Amino acid sequence: MGLVLLLAALGLARGLAALVERGSPPERLHQFSEGTERLVNFLDALPGIAQRDDAVIVFGSSIIQHGFSPETFEQHVGAPVTAYNVGFPGVDPETQSLLARRVASTFEPTGHKALLALVEFTPFQATLARGRAVNFRELSAIKKALLADPLALARIARRSPEEASHLAALRLLGGSSPKVMKSLLEDQFLDRQQPDWWPVPESLDAVLLERRDWVTRIHEGRMAAEHRQLPEWDPVHRGEVRWIFDGTREDYLAWARLRSTPEALKPDLEWRIETSDILELRFDEEQVRYFIEAVRALASVSRETRVVLAPRNPAWNQPTPGGRARLAAVLALIEKETGAKVLDLAESPEFTAEDFIDVTHLNESSGRPKFSRRLAEAVAEQWGRGVAKDAAP
């Protein structure tokens, strides 16, 4: 009887989650689930990628998700390659290590190896503060629940039985969580006409509504331009999410300008300091070790591997001297433990604040093509040895 009640409760919870998700606009669902659907779409496409010998896997966080264009990279790298945007939001290095192992285990039985793995390191994702941030922990946990095999769950259980139990519950919920459902329900309520007593200043409410209108028009324009239903990780564009088309350009630029004003970026920086220690960068040694595991896993199925530091917003993301020293020590450790050279583009002078949509992420209009081209050039500069020598025309 107890098992029957448990299964009934589980079915009810999954049904409620599905109902809430169906009632949410796609852009809201993607925002609050922070890449869960994108991860599922990528895992579906992974077996096909693992059959290729010309794959360049560009692996990382939302910095890569929003900042890397496979098409632009291919145009500038100077060799016949097929690049993939394997960047995901809402992850920590432990989640990345699980995903990297999944990539490796998919490649291994095929006998193929990726031509090149570029593994982006997001320093503030590996900090002690990030590990304490409840929202980020939950978003990472959803993806860990989808990726963890029994051995990984056993390892987590030895460290924290409560965390392992939580991951098992999230897996049973099918890739959702109570926190995501709560956020979606609140968003659906707040998206409607508010009663007079609702404490939202009229001016702020107007700005929020304007932003939402832009996002809706951009999403609708994207669907119209592509003439199809778009998965969050799109095999056609190899993981790149495109928002700029002829019919969406002006709306995107207006939305980007609103997101990147000093009034918007100041609280964004304060939030990043509070939740991720973005300037002092006091690292969690365990998370750094997990990132090293991720690099090693990808290196095992790649002919050559590099660790990448993406450009920083020069106006808003400048670590303190102590933060820079700690970062240098961690990068030296990663290079020593993995044998992968670091492509450090963090201080590339060609990037300005106008290339970013917020404190950390590149915009699509100028930042993404510039970074993709610069990354291709950095790879091409190292040709003459290893995979680059074999790949060069």
Answer whether residue 353 is part of any domain.
Answer: no
pLDDT given at position 32: 52
pLDDT given at position 105: 97
Domain housing 283: 2-193+202-344+362-391
Answer whether residue 352 is part of any domain.
Answer: no
Rounded Cα distance between 308 and 121, Å, is 6
- Looking at this protein, which amino acid is placed at residue 78? G
Answer whether residue 287 is part of any domain.
Answer: yes
pLDDT given at position 188: 45
pTM of the prediction?
A: 0.82
Answer whether residue 256 is part of any domain.
Answer: yes
Answer whether residue 349 is part of any domain.
Answer: no
Rounded Cα distance between 248 and 131, Å, is 37
Q: Which two tokens stand for residue 98?
A: 């699980």
Pairs from 335-338 (Cβ < 8 Å, separation ≥ 24): 335/307, 337/292, 337/296, 338/292, 338/295, 338/296, 338/299, 338/305, 338/307
Helix residue ranges per DSSP H, 160-284: 161-172, 178-190, 202-226, 249-259, 262-276
Low-confidence ranges of the chain (pLDDT < 70): 1-34, 173-211, 214-215, 218-219, 221-228, 383-393
Answer whether residue 354 is part of any domain.
Answer: no
pLDDT given at position 58: 99
**259: exposed, middle or buried (Cβ count in 10 Å: 0-12, 13-18, 19+):** middle
Answer whether residue 82 is part of any domain.
Answer: yes
Answer whether residue 351 is part of any domain.
Answer: no
Rounded Cα distance between 311 and 289, Å, is 23
pLDDT given at position 26: 54
Q: How many domains does the chain have?
A: 1
pLDDT given at position 85: 99
pLDDT given at position 231: 85
